[in-house]
Structure 1
Amino acid sequence: MTAGILQNWEKKAKEHKKQYQQFLKRTDKNGVLKQLPALHEAAFEAVDCLTCANCCKHYSPRFKTPDVKRIARGLGLKESVFIDTYLRVDEDGDFVVKQSPCPFLNTDNTCGIYDIRPSDCARFPYTDEDVLIKRPALTLKNSEFCPITYYVLEKLTGNAG
């Protein structure tokens, strides 16, 4: 990760949480949405996900029905066997992995099922989508463990040049 904006990012994300919350609540949604593609791209240039993998190490995506079907087929398993082996139902009624880190996370932080990964994984951290604004609680949570979400929020709030 690059220095500067990302230096001590975990600490700064916690310190700036209230500011992010206020920003997300009162922001010009259309103005932000226009900025997201460029900020998303810049964040991914500044952060190498393979050096981090916090999302895969500590959290689980939702496995929707199409994900379960695709991944089970890709692994050569019956859907029921895939579910019984790897998934559980969380408090929201969604399928999530049984354990952390994700059982498909390789030791080099690559994904063992990258080409067939859940749609939540493919879309994460939602920094190029309206999810960033529409689900502020999720965005705030993500900013504390994902340097890309932190980077985008810092740029949007004017904390970073």
Structure 2
Amino acid sequence: MSVITENWQQQSAANKKKYKNWLQRVQRNKVLKQLPALHEEAFAQIDCLNCAACCKNYSPRFKTPDIKRISKHLKLKESVFIDTYLRLDEEGDYVVKQTPCAFLGEGNACSIYDVRPSDCARFPYTDEDVLLKRMNITLKNAEFCPAVFYVLEKLSNC
């Protein structure tokens, strides 16, 4: 039976302390070997187009290569792209000016999917060491991303 249920968000909130304790004492190398398979398993059951909470509520960082690539794709000067879509956040990173993301289209599809920022392409980091290295990000992501919840549930119940 799948750990994904209708109330996964409530379960994630209730299990936050369990996840934090697990992340603090995890055997990194053992878990890193499991992540790719668990990532695939999670996304075999979860369709991001049914959710898009990441695009609706948060912003990726737009790094210089992302800005160059997306500007070229949109046929905009980099400065125009930045002025139109981005702002600097508290950490000095470029992020979207608005939520939901201006590139979130009909049916929760990304209108720049093929050239999306690297943060978007890598999200939710369930197949890489970021899941273990950046505990606060992982715990936050588990609150709004069912794939992170799925992977944490599977790993923390082993």
Q: TM-score, normalised by structure 1?
A: 0.96
1:5 aligns with 2:17: no
Structure 2 match to 1:136: 135
Residue identity matched to 2:96? V
* Separation (CA, whole Å) in 1 of partners of 2:143 and 2:152: 11
Structure 1 match to 2:94: 95
Structure 2 match to 1:44: 43
Structure 2 match to 1:25: 24
Structure 2 match to 1:80: 79
Residue identity matched to 1:79? E
1:107 Cα offset (Å) = 2.0
* Separation (CA, whole Å) in 2 of partners of 1:105 and 1:24: 32
* Separation (CA, whole Å) in 2 of partners of 1:4 and 1:127: 17
**For 1:111, what is the secondary structure of its paired residue?**
coil
1:5 Cα offset (Å) = 1.5
1:6 Cα offset (Å) = 1.5
The 4+ residue runs of structure 1 with deviation greater than 4 A are: none
Identity %: 65
1:68 aligns with 2:67: yes
Residue identity matched to 1:91? E
* Separation (CA, whole Å) in 1 of partners of 2:80 and 2:55: 22
Aligned alpha-carbon RMSD (Å): 1.0
Stretches of structure 1 lacking an aligned partner (at least 5 in a row): none
**For 1:108, what is the secondary structure of its paired residue?**
helix
1:4 Cα offset (Å) = 4.3
**For 1:154, what is the secondary structure of its paired residue?**
helix
